């Protein structure tokens, strides 16, 4: 989905702010939120693709104003409500006020019907897919051409895995793009590497 989470290459946000040697956690509740989501994934309450998609579904203003661990907590709470483990009313009673959750999910999709395998050196093009559900394809590579430089083992296909749909596992290809091709006239000369699932690719002419 083309949501507020997919900000790669977007302009107008200024420089990326960071702190050298910053601590992973700044408050006790962040440790608890991180531990609860990890426990839920480990015990099969939900999978990582469901979790990522729940965060993607956050209301855009909430997403941009929330901290990393607030997004994590929102995604986890949303999935627990959707799976019937607790209610929104219970959350708000415990929080002592409103508890915003993510928006409902759109449908997912299974593997692309016709897929090809690729080898290092192959030129590939990213499909022009606009997906309403979960997708692990950064918007800035859509329709762009690059070169395969590596291949990973097969992983669960995220577009289906986030939605409980059956699908074959797929490898991801380490595709090298030229930054100037991704952002013409707005980039220094550089190489950009992206792990791209097989269903997202087609052979470039």
Asked whether 173 and 118 are in contact (CB, 8 A), the reply is yes
Query: How many structural domains does the chain have?
Result: 2
Name the percent of the chain lying above pLDDT 70: 100
Domain that residue 37 falls in? 1-100
Question: Where residue 58 sits, what CATH number does that domain have?
Answer: 1.10.472.20
Task: State whether 85 and 129 are in the same domain.
Answer: no
Q: Residue with structure tokens 């290459």?
A: 9
- Domain assignment present for residue 60? The answer is yes
**CA-to-CA distance for 89 and 149, rounded, in angstroms?**
50
Question: Do 75 and 132 belong to one domain?
Answer: no
Same domain, 134 and 198: yes
For the entire predicted model, the pTM comes to 0.92
User: Is 112 inside any structural domain?
Assistant: no
CATH number of the domain enclosing 149: 2.30.30.50
Nearest CA among 96, 95, 77, 74 for reference residue 86: 77
H runs (alpha helix) in 57-116? 60-65, 68-82, 88-95
Q: Please indicate, yes or no, whether residues 95 and 140 belong to a single structural domain of this protein.
A: no
**Helices then strands, each counted (H, E), the chain:** 7, 5
Condensed to tens digits (0 to 9), the pLDDT of residues 149-194 reads 999 999 999 999 999 999 999 999 999 999 999 999 888 899 999 9
Domain match, 84 and 133 both: no
Alpha carbon distance, N-terminus to C-terminus of the chain:
27
Asked if residue 128 and residue 96 are part of one domain, the reply reads no
Task: Note whether residue 7 is domain-resident.
Answer: yes
């Amino acid at each position: 989905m083309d949501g507020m989470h997919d900000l790669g290459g977007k302009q107008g946000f200024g420089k990326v702010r960071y702190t050298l040697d910053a601590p992973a956690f700044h408050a006790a509740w962040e440790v608890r939120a991180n531990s609860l989501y990890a426990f839920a994934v480990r015990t099969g309450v939900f999978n990582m693709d469901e979790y990522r998609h729940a965060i993607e579904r956050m209301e855009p203003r909430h997403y941009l104003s929330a901290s990393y661990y607030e997004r994590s907590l929102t995604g986890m709470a949303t999935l627990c409500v959707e799976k019937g483990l607790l209610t929104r009313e219970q959350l708000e009673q415990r929080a002592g006020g409103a508890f915003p959750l993510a928006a409902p999910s759109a449908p997912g999709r299974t593997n692309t019907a016709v897929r090809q395998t690729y080898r290092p050196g192959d030129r590939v093009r990213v499909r022009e897919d606009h997906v309403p559900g979960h997708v692990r394809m950064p918007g800035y590579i859509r329709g762009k051409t690059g070169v395969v430089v590596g291949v990973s083992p097969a992983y669960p296909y995220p577009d289906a895995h986030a939605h409980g749909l059956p699908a074959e596992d797929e490898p991801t290809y380490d595709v090298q793009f030229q930054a100037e091709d991704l952002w013409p006239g707005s980039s220094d000369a550089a190489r950009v590497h992206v792990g791209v699932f097989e269903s997202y690719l087609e052979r470039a002419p």
